[in-house]
Amino acid sequence: MQVAVIGGGISGLASAFVLAKAGVDVVLYEKEDSLGGHAKTITIDGVDLDLGFTLFNHATSPNTMEFFDSLGVDMKSSDMSFSVSLDKGQGFEWGTRNGFSSLFAQKKNFLNPYFWQMLREINKFKDDALRYIDELENNPDINRNETLGQFLKSRGYSELFQKSYLIPLCDSVWSCPSERAMSFSAFSVLSFCRNHHLLELFGHPQWLTFRIRSHSYVNKVTGQLQSWGCQIRTSCEVYSVYPADEGCTVVSSDGSQENYSCCVMAVHAPDALRILGNQATLDETRILGAFRYVYSDIFLHRDKNFMPQNTAAWSAWNFLGSTDGKICLTYWLNVLQNNGETGVPFLATLNPDHTPENTLLKWSTSNRVPSVAASKASLELDLIQGKRGIWFCGAYQGYGFQEDGLKAGMITAHGVLGKNCAVLSNPKHMVPSLLEKGARLFVARFFRRYISTGCLILLEEGGTIFTFEGTLRNSPLKTVLRIHNPQFYWKVMTEADLGLADSYINGDFSFVDKDEGLLNLFLIVIANKDLNSSTSKLKQKRGWWSPMFFTASIASAKCFFRHISRKNTLTQARRNVSRHYDLVN
């Protein structure tokens, strides 16, 4: 079987990856001179900058994270803080980057009843949104045509809340005019906000970005595709696709006209319709035509006038609005991409009312509009998939972001292969008890002191990440533990190495690298034990852990109460037999 994949963005790369890995003969077409779609990297003044597709996390992008882990892509922590600045700081100006100091960047808001009203409505909005989503998800027959504006009006939200919080949030995510946001599908917007932890100001999962920018992942995928024999044709635009006797025919700008068993159209919905032309069926025209996009101009610059007036409010995403309806959004790339200090900041502004000073680059981008019509159409995609040997995938089939594009590409490729695709769902946020939080602090403090060489990463379900990296950076040793149960911290704190072993046996944690993870953990512990012994850094510690009498007393108490709870009564004896013995033998 030979398959044409049209489009080299995240959906096309994912689709080609799955197909080529399965042994399919794949030809990948891309009209630009490089693959990656929105994932583009440039270098300015010696600093690598991504122009798009830079953020992901374990809580909201599980499939993306698994894909990158399989490729060995290096990542580092990022920031997804948000700020709002109205009327150049004359109206409300607040942010979330530095906790309450950013939230109350305008000190007068401590005594402003309207600001406190907005905060109360933010909490109310979260409760209403979760209740609404739960009701619709558990009752599929309920009409999902309610717009965001109707949702807000029926629940009595103030204009202040809308202008100072919700509209800036929607405009920032979907890059659209304020009046258009109110016509969005309430279910789509609220589901997205819930899934991406945007219903609360703080407590978000740890966001990540590429350690050496997005071209690193594109290069790894490209190399893997080529090793599997995939033909990659960049600077080769596809003009048309039409059905043939046994598949379909692809006509491209290089003058070729080739037949394939089937074709995967990994492009925006309007582009897919344009390529199909008059060959598009009524269903394809109706369903794909429901997906609309908003287009934005982006300027890369260093003009601080496009940031909040109060630097305490500066955040990764910065919404600037005015009473006359003019809005723009500025990304603080130094924070988003964790570039460190670069002197004058690198800023990227969408749709400014005038060209910023010190402009370095200009380009355009597009975002799918989460309309009611698009929400309906997404439920009907199966009606057009695989018909006449033509398949469709793209981020528009979800919320319009990279995780959606990756999932769409994977699902479509498995459809071509006639297989089911098991995509990962967003994990639940791990919520430790008060005792477990205390144990987590204890364990984290110990590892910060103990790790002098190598790198140990604790990755909690839900996205929280703890990184312990030694100052001796010449060691290649690294291991990543996935923490599935907060009991891990309590067991390790109270029983040290035995607690670690017990947690592993009980499945409280696992290793990202299933082959070398456990070995690397042992090597890191041993290497640091030797270093700490030689430097007497922790000479008051028992072994590699905490004070002997403290650990021993807690562990002994646990064992005593466990022993008492298993007192060998008749009932307990039966329970012990059922747990530990195979009576068949």
Both 98 and 66 in one domain: the answer is no
Domain match, 301 and 450 both: no
Q: Across all residues in the chain, what is the average pLDDT?
A: 87
pLDDT digits (tens, 9 = 90+) for 444-473: 999 988 898 888 989 887 667 888 888 776
Same domain flag for 340 and 381:
no
Say if 103 falls within a structural domain: yes
CA distance 78 to 234: 31
In a domain, 581, yes or no: no
Q: Are residues 219 and 259 in the same domain?
A: yes
At residue 243, does pLDDT exceed 70? yes
Token pair in block for residue 515? 């082959």
Let me know if residue 486 belongs to a domain: yes
pTM, two decimal places: 0.79
| Residue 534 pLDDT | 64
Between helix 10-21 and helix 215-227 the angle, nearest 10°, is: 30
In a domain, 561, yes or no: no
Whether residue 65 is found in the same domain as residue 154? no
pLDDT 10s digits, 531-564: 877 665 444 544 445 444 445 455 555 555 555 5
pLDDT of residue 552: 47
Provide the strand spans (E) within 343-451: 347-350, 361-368, 390-392
Are residues 196 and 326 located together in one domain of the fold? yes
Place of tokens 């258009």: 180
Tell me what pLDDT residue 200 has: 85
Long-range contacts of 99-107, Cβ-Cβ distance < 8 Å, separation of 24 or more? 99/202, 101/312, 102/312, 102/313, 102/314, 102/315, 103/201, 105/308, 105/310, 105/312, 105/313, 106/310, 106/313
Domain holding 232, by residue range, is: 2-74+211-292+370-417
**Do both 131 and 262 map to the same domain?**
no
Provide the pLDDT for residue 521: 92
**Residue 582 located in a structural domain:** no
**201 vs 141: CA distance, rounded Å:** 32
Instruction: Please report how the helices 402-417 and 62-71 are oriented relative to each other, as an axis angle in degrees rounded to 10.
Output: 70
196/108: higher pLDDT? 108
Mean pLDDT score, 87-113: 92
578 is a domain residue: no
pLDDT, one tens digit per residue, over 15-57 is 999 999 999 999 999 999 999 988 888 899 888 898 876 788 8
Q: Are residues 182 and 322 in the same domain?
A: yes
499 within a domain of the structure (yes/no): yes
Shared domain check, 439 and 457:
yes
Q: For residue 454, what are its two tokens? A: 């190598």
**381 and 357, same structural domain?**
no
Each residue of 128-173: pLDDT tens digit? 999 999 999 888 778 888 999 999 999 999 999 999 999 999 988 8
Statement: residue 431 has pLDDT above 90: no
- Please, how many CA atoms are within 13 Å of residue 544, restricted to the half-sphere of its CB? 21
168 and 215 belong to one structural domain: no
Range 105-114 burial, b when 16+ CB lie within 10 A, else e: bbeebeeeee
423 pLDDT more than 70? yes
Q: Name the band, by pLDDT with cuts 50, 70 and 90, for residue 585.
A: very low
pLDDT of residue 112: 94
Give me the number of domains the chain comprises.
Answer: 3
The verdict on 146 and 200 lying in the same domain is: yes
